[in-house]
Structure 1
Amino acid sequence: MKDWTVSDVMTKPVVSAAESDSYRHVVHLLMEHRVSAVPVVDVFRRVTGVVSEADLLRKVEYLGDGKPRLLSGRRERRERAKASAHTARDLMSAPPVVVSYRTSIPAAARIMDQSGVKRLPVVDDLGRLAGVVSRSDLLKVHLRPDQEILYDIETSVMRPFLADDATTISVAVVDGVVTLAGHVDRWSAVDLVARLIRQLPGVVDVHSTVEAAFDDRELITPGALFTIS
């Protein structure tokens, strides 16, 4: 089974700005490519920051507002500094939140949520910009065909983990929802299968009516976790 990472769903090639790019050039990039933010890279293509529409709008917000007031807070002083900035280096928000191209899709989703961002620059092993992954990109796993998900279930879960019981369970996948039916010897077997199937990319939910000849729940060590290797 293939482990999906951000490299499978990210957008590439990606629009970026050089640190020395002018304010107007960055505005042009956003307008021309219809994006709301661009990563900023140095001469080695390493990501040093991100310039968003919000960063650019500081110049409009404080237009003609003069110097900062004497008792201005740190945030206002920072925003006014961006209002007077002329290059991407001075406009950008830094340090940037980035992810490796090897990052799993669930991990990328957690980083986005925790950081409160809508997209993440993706870097290679040398820290160079390789792409950008957005919230909508992470949802691409749910566009996987049902037949592809079914194949993963049969080859990566049923055969390796159920052995002889694999022939006693039927599996159906409709719009990413997996339905299991049939019977097994032990309750723990179908519980394990359901846990593993839920980890597969593109699976929306798992419904099971599988019956077990022996309920071995009391024999299972509390807190035991199963993961796909």
Structure 2
Amino acid sequence: MPMTVRDVMNRFVVAVEATASFADVVTAMCRFHVGAVPVVDGERRVIGMVSDSDLLLKDLDRRPGDVIIEGPSRRRERRKASGRTAAQIMSSPAITVTEDTTLRRAASLMQRNRIKELPVVDGETGRITGLVKQSDLIRAFCRPPEDIRDDVVEVVSRYSRRCAVRVEDGIVHLVGGVARRSQLFAMIEEVWQVDGVVDVDSSITFETDDVDRAVSAGAPRRTGPVESGEGQ
């Protein structure tokens, strides 16, 4: 089974209310050595996030009298820079995950949105239950090689009984054969989804190339006249 946020999350969460002052937010982040804090409402539902990047916007140059042509992004930054409470500083809506979210999905959300922390919320109530950080996701690559191999063998066995699996330093080595080329593609894709896999070294062969056949069958056929010299 893929590792989920539940396996690595921190259940101790430093959060602030929307009415918390700028100074209160800074104090909380410094005291607990965190780079971001969720902003919650009265029922501990996450309504936003304040990161160290949001706080540093206070350093934006706001000299009076300057005439600056600004885009929407810059205007949002300046509004945050003038904020005095967590509600005015935070990025909203917050990007969240649940405890059942896979680590790969969480990593994808962080990379796509350029963030380092994700609040973990209850899927039904929306209340915060924890926090997951980029450094937590690295634990997916700390799995013992025998655990990785067991998961890979489970995947491979669905496609062939003629494959040998070896795992070294997170690299999966596959030797053997499958019946069809399409099976090879699907199997390798599933192996890549196993937590802890760093790379896949495949020496798998196939008996029938059903991929090229499918492409050829779907290729458009020319129905117009044959050009001069063709077909001779």
- The normalised TM-score by structure 2 is 0.76
2:189 is matched with which residue? 195
**In structure 2, distance between residues paired with 1:110 and 1:83:** 29
Tell me which of 200, 208, 219 is aligned to 1:215: 208
1:227 is matched with which residue? none
Q: Is residue 159–residue 178 contact of structure 2 (8 Å, CA) maintained in 1?
A: no
CA shift, 1:60, in A, is: 4.7
**In structure 2, distance between residues paired with 1:188 and 1:108:** 29
Q: Give the SS at the match of 2:47.
A: strand
2:168 is matched with which residue? 174
Whether 2:54 is the aligned partner of 1:55: answer: yes
CA shift, 1:160, in A, is: 3.4
Q: Give 1:19's aligned amino acid.
A: A
Q: Which ranges of structure 1 fall in alignment gaps of 5 or more residues?
A: 223-229
Match runs of 1:34-73 below 5 Å: 34-61=33-60, 69=65, 71=67, 73=70
Q: Give the SS at the match of 2:91.
A: coil
Q: Which ranges of structure 2 fall in alignment gaps of 5 or more residues?
A: 216-232
Q: Give 1:195's aligned amino acid.
A: E
Match runs of 1:1-229 below 5 Å: 2-61=1-60, 69=65, 71=67, 73=70, 78-125=76-123, 126-154=125-153, 156-162=154-160, 166=161, 168-184=162-178, 187-212=181-206, 214-218=207-211, 221=214
CA shift, 1:7, in A, is: 2.5
Q: Is residue 159–residue 187 contact of structure 2 (8 Å, CA) maintained in 1?
A: yes
Q: 1:87 to 1:51 in 2, by over 3 A?
A: same
Instruction: Return structure 1 stretches of 4+ with deviation > 6 angstroms.
Output: none
% identical aligned pairs: 38
User: Which of the two has higher C-alpha Rg?
Assistant: 2
Q: Give the SS at the match of 2:159.
A: helix
Q: Give 1:94's aligned amino acid.
A: S
Q: Is residue 97–residue 119 contact of structure 2 (8 Å, CA) maintained in 1?
A: yes
Range with bigger deviation, 92-101 or 168-177:
92-101
**In structure 1, distance between residues paired with 2:33 and 2:101:** 26
Q: 1:140 to 1:221 in 2, by over 3 A?
A: farther
CA shift, 1:20, in A, is: 2.3
**In structure 1, distance between residues paired with 2:178 and 2:204:** 7
CA shift, 1:32, in A, is: 1.6
Aligned residues: 212
Q: CA RMSD in A?
A: 2.8
**In structure 2, distance between residues paired with 1:201 and 1:5:** 10
